[in-house]
Chain A
Amino acid sequence: MSGLTLATISHAFAGRRVLDTVSLVIRPGELVALVGPSGSGKSTLAAIAGGILKPDRGRIMRRYARHGMVFQQSRLMPWVDARDNIAFPLRLAGMSADRIAARVQAAAEAVALRRDDLSKRPDALSGGMRARVAIARALAVEPDFLIFDEPFAALDPALRRRMQDLVLSLSGARGFGGLFITHDLSEAARLAHRIAVLDRQGKGITGSLAPPGQPGTRSESAVFDFVETARAEPLLHDLVNVDERALPLESTCDMSGFRRCC
C-alpha cells in the first residue's frame, strides 16, 4: 500500500510565493482530491509531488515504489504514435523491447484502447482517446501511486464522466492511492475518499471533507446531495464564490512557473 506526505512545502516563482507551508498527508490506498480556486497553486503542488519541481522548502516522503502522472491536455508527444507514447517511461527506464511490448499491451487493455488506436499519432485521436493514452502511459510503469493534474478539465461532460468511471474502476481493481487535482467539486466527490481544500493564496490546506461512502459506490444522488451541502460550507467559500477577475493579476496567471499559462 502506498502513501505520500508533503510536509511544510513552500515554493516561489520569480520571487512570488505560490505555496506557503502546505502540508498534506495521503494515507496508503487513499485517493485524495485537492480542490482550490484557479491560481491557488494546485498544479504546482502536483508538480512537486510528481518530482517535476523541487520545493524551495519542505519535505516529501514517498511511501511507494513508483508513481505515474496524468496531466491536463494529455501531454502526448506528437511525433510518435500512441504505442510509443505509452512506452515512453518504460524506454526511459531502459526496459527490454519484449517487456515494453507486454506492458504497453496490458496498459492499453486496461484503458480499453483498441489495437488500431495504438498505431495512431495523437493528432489522429479524439480528446477522450488521448486521455486514455495518457492514463495508459501512467499505468505502464505499474505505479502504486497516481497523480492526476486536472486530467479531464478540457473534456466535455459526458467524456469526462466516462474517464472518471475509468479511474474509479482502475482504482478499485488495483487499489492504488493518489492525488487528484481538480477544481470541479462533483468530480472530487465522485472519485475521492477525501477532499482537501487548498487556500486561495496557497497558504496551506484549509481543511478536508469526506463524502459519505467509498468512491465507486456512491450513487448520483448521494454525490449531488454532498456537493449541494458542501457548497454552503465556509471551507469551500473561495472555491465556490471566487471571481477570478477579483484576483490580483499575478495570482490568476502563472507566467514563469510550472503551468506557464500565459
Chain B
Amino acid sequence: MTSTMPTAPAPTLEGTPFAPRWLAVPAIAGAALIVLPLIGLATRVEWAQFPALVTSDAALAALALSARTVAWSTALVVILGVPLAVMLARLEFRGMDVVRTVILAPLVLPPVVGGLGLLYAFGRTGLIGERLTLLGIDIAFTTTAVVLAQTFVALPFLVFSLEGALRADGTRFEAVAATLGAGPWTTLTRVTLRRVWPALVAGTVLAAARALGEFGATLTFAGSLQGVTRTVPLEIYLQREADADAAVALSLVLVVVALVVVALAYGGATRVARARVASGRSS
C-alpha cells in the first residue's frame, strides 16, 4: 500500500479551485494587515547607522539579557510544560477541565494582568514572596522575575500544542511498547515524545518567540533596569521617543529573529508531519 502511494500531493485540476474566488479579497486584506507594518518598519530603518545602533551599550545589554532570559524561560517551559501536557493528555482526573482552563488563561489575559498576579504571588509582599523574603530570596525586579514572567506567558503555547498532538496520536503505540516490556519512562521518551516530536518543536519555538516578545508582564513584575530586567522589547519601548532610529533598528532585529525561527521550526515540523502522513499510514 505504501509503495504505490504517491509522495507528492495529489495534483488539483487547474481552473477548478475548491474555494470561492471572492475569498481572495478578505484574504489579501488580512495578509496586508500583517505585512504592511513590517514593510513600514523596514522603510524607516537608517541602514547607514544600523550596525552602530544595534551595537550600542544599551542595545547590546538588552540583546544579551533577552538571549539569556529567553534561553532560561524556554528551558523552563519544556521542563514544566512537557509533564503538564502529558498529564492533561493521558490522565483522567476530576477537575481536569478546570485545570486546563486555568492553564489557558495566560493566552488570553492581558500580560500586564499576569504581571500583577506574579507580583502578588512572588513579590516581596506576595503569597509566597513573603516567605521567600524571610529566606533572603527576592524575586521581583530581578532577572529571575523576567524569566518567570516569560515562562508564565509562554508555557500555554507548548502545553496546548503538545497536548493536542498527544491526544491525536492516541495510546496505541504506548500499549505496544508496554507489552514489549518498556516501562512508563522508556515508553514516554523513546516512543511517545518521538511520535509527537514536530508538535514539541513547534510548541517550543512558539513559546520561545512569545518569551522573546514579552513586555507587559515583565514591565509590571520585573521593572526596567538596564542589563538586569530591560529586555529588547522594553528597550524598544524606552527608546521609541528618545531615539526612534535605535528603536526601529532593534525592532528590525526582533522581526528578523522571529521570521527566521518560525520559518525554520514550523517549516521543519510541517515537513515531518507531511512526510509522516504520506508514508506512515501503515505504520
B and A form one assembly = no
A contact set with B: CB distance below 8 Å? none
